[in-house]
A and B are shown apart, each in its own frame.
Chain A
């Protein structure tokens, strides 16, 4: 990096820090602990508090809901280096993301790469402004780890496709406005070659959703049914029958997102949370030496993974990243998050077992613990991730 670039970046850091100080409400500098703390946008979006609204609107107006997207699509137009500065400055004050959405994490990057100009202009600004909330139609009852065997049909009828079938584990389908969906457009082709990636409105005639009650007692996932849903052919992203390319590219982003789901580096250290319930000895050490060792080992691995995530971003910027590396991160990040919650449950003891009470915030911890068990299943299981690493990175035979 040249001296001018370094100086410019320092200037950007100074301005960003000052802007965040002036514009991020104090309430938005605390870790999100409840569902209502996360703003997802969409047609029916409601802010859970005034600071949440203010923070979202200020960030949206700067294009910083999607800082690295081009300005013409509602983004902030930041360079990779500037984006890194913004992230580190937000992390410094513990600022929450102003907007969370599958549009930002998954569809947006896929549209930027594979969408045509009309699709980018139509959808990206609405994602950036939080106007449309998206869901993901990938898995089916008989197509889980073997996603490419999906059977939802899209039959050609004039300018439209007519879509019939069902999806499962569709996150927040009951709240979503639009869906990005994998459908089979050529049932005669080999399984990877007859799939298309298509977008449609969830209010279209023939779409129904049914929430699935999970072991956590929550229903973040749905079954989604399509009964002759009519969708214009212009809503296909990329080439018809080449949707698997788009699907895989999007999955890399999804895996990167899931690997970052743990609450790394925010809030109080795990060891201190544990000390609240377990207690400490005369030397100030956690009064459960085995648990203390587990936490410390966890902390080592978590810090190391954070370094690896930072390096993965840097490698991508330098054009040295392996495209399948997100599978490695997804594997490790999700397994680590499960470890985190096993430790939290052990540390909480009896207090972490309450399922319904004010005291336990309606069983927030055990429900979150159970939720993490899906981390290593959704977006590709840990076993599938290891298979991808073995095949695509290590080039092992017959994988």
Chain B
């Protein structure tokens, strides 16, 4: 498969870009932030997403979805990254939909996936417990109780956690923190007894929550996949999320880069355009090259996921690591080259810096994924 968009993919990009740039420019995020919007995203826009087939983009057609692949999901994520649109797309349509589709039994799929597709169900994966992304350190306890389990523990950085209708909770049914064996995914209704949710207002003004489970009772039907053997399912779902976040970061980096180059072509100092200074030209060129290389690595990862999720880990690690360093560089250069303007809240560039920081932590930062690659290569 060529690493260029097909005609259909270009059309998908154009329609996503049309909708997003029209309805959700950066000012959309700004007004949600400033009004302390209780939902944190536009329900109307989410409805449009569902109507256009984006909400169920990855869901098989038999469950009302579009049945498209990860390359297509990445295309939408890249456009989301360009305007920083807050949307349930990542948590619900990419991560949760993949978890349900890959791990769910027939009953679970037919209960939840059609609702994902029509936009009526918001779902999210609850994975991180500590300050850093360490999936194997999962220590939220799930103890057998009668026919089901009792869940106790806490999760952080649960995207859309305060509005979700369904949590997919990574828990430990056996073994101890650090072990692959003994991980299990559970479907948890946020409204049941023992669940407490704290919306956390984050630096990027996107949705996140801390949740706490205190002896939350779930029945055996709530297990997603197999008891104790959830690590492989989790690996795949996380890699899908990582590929999607990498694509968002490519869009974000590219947008910051374009805005910065435009600024270099319009801002005058010392009687000339600052873009005439070689010191800035070379930095802009290096950044361009970084973005293009990262774009290719991300396409490669999405393509690998489309081929076989289980074999995509190294390509995904490369993409997420590159996306992290590239986005970090892009936003830093963006602010620096915009000078004092870049430091003002009135100017959009700071929004990109803040979102890049969150994307970097989401599903593992560049250091984490570089480490994963080193381990995979056996040194």
Q: Mark A311-349, 1 if CB is under 8 A from B, else 0.
A: 100110110100001001001100000000000000000
Chain B neighbourhood of A398, CB < 8 A: 272-273, 275-276
CB distance from A317 to the nearest CB of B (A): 7
| A93 at interface, CB cutoff 8 A | no
B2 and A314 form a contact (CB under 8 A): yes
Bound together, the chains give a CA A390 to CA B278 distance in angstroms of: 9
Chain B neighbourhood of A269, CB < 8 A: 377-379
Chain B neighbourhood of A303, CB < 8 A: 297, 314-315, 318, 373
| B289 at interface, CB cutoff 8 A | yes
Contact segment of A34-42, A185-193, A294-302: A294-302
| B4 at interface, CB cutoff 8 A | yes
A275 and B282 form a contact (CB under 8 A): no
A305 and B293 form a contact (CB under 8 A): yes
Option from B3, B264, B281, B297 in Cβ contact (under 8 Å) with A387? B281
Chain A neighbourhood of B373, CB < 8 A: 296, 299-300, 303
Bound together, the chains give a CA A389 to CA B288 distance in angstroms of: 8
Q: Mark A268-310, 1 if CB is under 8 A from B, else 0.
A: 0101101100001000111000001101110111011101101
| A399 at interface, CB cutoff 8 A | yes
Tell me which residues from 296 to 330 in chain B have a Cβ below 8 Å from any Cβ of chain A.
296-297, 299-300, 314-315, 317-319, 321-322
| A227 at interface, CB cutoff 8 A | no
Given the contacts A297-B370, A390-B284, A394-B261, A272 and B289 also touching, CB distance less than 8 Å: no
B379 and A280 form a contact (CB under 8 A): yes
Q: Interface extent on A, as a size class?
A: 35 or more
| A393 at interface, CB cutoff 8 A | yes
| B253 at interface, CB cutoff 8 A | no
Chain A neighbourhood of B286, CB < 8 A: 331, 386
| A397 at interface, CB cutoff 8 A | yes
Bound together, the chains give a CA A307 to CA B1 distance in angstroms of: 12
A396 and B379 form a contact (CB under 8 A): no
| B265 at interface, CB cutoff 8 A | yes
| A146 at interface, CB cutoff 8 A | no
B379 and A307 form a contact (CB under 8 A): no
| B292 at interface, CB cutoff 8 A | yes
Residue of B nearest to A388 (CB): B285
A315 and B4 form a contact (CB under 8 A): yes
Bound together, the chains give a CA A320 to CA B4 distance in angstroms of: 9
Residue of A nearest to B379 (CB): A271
Bound together, the chains give a CA A297 to CA B379 distance in angstroms of: 13
Bound together, the chains give a CA A332 to CA B289 distance in angstroms of: 8
Residue of A nearest to B319 (CB): A304
For the A-B complex, the count of residue pairs with Cβ-Cβ distances under 8 Å equals 141
| B374 at interface, CB cutoff 8 A | yes
Bound together, the chains give a CA A284 to CA B371 distance in angstroms of: 13
Option from B4, B288, B317, B377 in Cβ contact (under 8 Å) with A311? B4
Chain B neighbourhood of A386, CB < 8 A: 281-282, 285-286
B321 and A300 form a contact (CB under 8 A): yes
Chain B neighbourhood of A271, CB < 8 A: 374, 377-379
Bound together, the chains give a CA A318 to CA B286 distance in angstroms of: 25
A299 and B282 form a contact (CB under 8 A): no
B371 and A296 form a contact (CB under 8 A): yes
Bound together, the chains give a CA A397 to CA B2 distance in angstroms of: 34
Residue of B nearest to A285 (CB): B379
Residue of B nearest to A309 (CB): B296
Tell me which residues from 21 to 67 in chain A have a Cβ below 8 Å from any Cβ of chain B.
none
Tell me which residues from 1 to 19 in chain B have a Cβ below 8 Å from any Cβ of chain A.
2-4
Bound together, the chains give a CA A241 to CA B285 distance in angstroms of: 31
| A383 at interface, CB cutoff 8 A | yes
B285 and A332 form a contact (CB under 8 A): no
B296 and A307 form a contact (CB under 8 A): yes
A307 and B3 form a contact (CB under 8 A): yes
| B294 at interface, CB cutoff 8 A | yes
Residue of A nearest to B273 (CB): A397
A310 and B261 form a contact (CB under 8 A): no
Chain A neighbourhood of B300, CB < 8 A: 307, 310-311
Option from A286, A332, A399 in Cβ contact (under 8 Å) with B281? A399
Q: Mark B33-72, 1 if CB is under 8 A from A, else 0.
A: 0000000000000000000000000000000000000000
Bound together, the chains give a CA A304 to CA B246 distance in angstroms of: 13
Option from B3, B314, B321, B377 in Cβ contact (under 8 Å) with A310? B3
A387 and B278 form a contact (CB under 8 A): yes
Given the contacts A317-B2, A318-B4, A331-B289, A272 and B378 also touching, CB distance less than 8 Å: yes
CB distance from A136 to the nearest CB of B (A): 25
Option from B3, B265, B293, B321 in Cβ contact (under 8 Å) with A397? B265
Bound together, the chains give a CA A232 to CA B5 distance in angstroms of: 48
CB distance from A389 to the nearest CB of B (A): 4
CB distance from A67 to the nearest CB of B (A): 18
CB distance from B207 to the nearest CB of A (A): 30
A308 and B292 form a contact (CB under 8 A): yes
Chain A neighbourhood of B379, CB < 8 A: 269, 271-272, 274-275, 280, 284-286, 292, 295
Chain B neighbourhood of A299, CB < 8 A: 370, 373-374, 377
Bound together, the chains give a CA A320 to CA B3 distance in angstroms of: 12
Bound together, the chains give a CA A271 to CA B321 distance in angstroms of: 18
Bound together, the chains give a CA A399 to CA B371 distance in angstroms of: 40
B374 and A396 form a contact (CB under 8 A): no
Chain B neighbourhood of A295, CB < 8 A: 374, 379
Residue of B nearest to A308 (CB): B296
Chain A neighbourhood of B282, CB < 8 A: 383, 386-387, 390
Option from A307, A318, A325, A328 in Cβ contact (under 8 Å) with B299? A307
B374 and A308 form a contact (CB under 8 A): no
A397 and B275 form a contact (CB under 8 A): yes
Q: Mark A96-111, 1 if CB is under 8 A from B, else 0.
A: 0000000000000000
Chain A neighbourhood of B288, CB < 8 A: 328, 389, 393-394
Report, nearest first, the 6 A-B pairs whose CB atoms are least far apart. Answer: A271-B379, A304-B297, A390-B281, A308-B296, A389-B285, A296-B374
15 A–B contacts, CB within 8 A, in A order: A269-B377, A285-B374, A292-B379, A293-B370, A295-B374, A296-B374, A307-B318, A308-B292, A311-B296, A311-B299, A386-B286, A394-B281, A396-B284, A398-B276, A399-B278
| 6 more A-B residue pairs beyond the given contacts A300-B318, A391-B281, with a C-beta to C-beta distance below 8 A | A299-B377, A310-B296, A311-B296, A318-B2, A389-B289, A399-B278
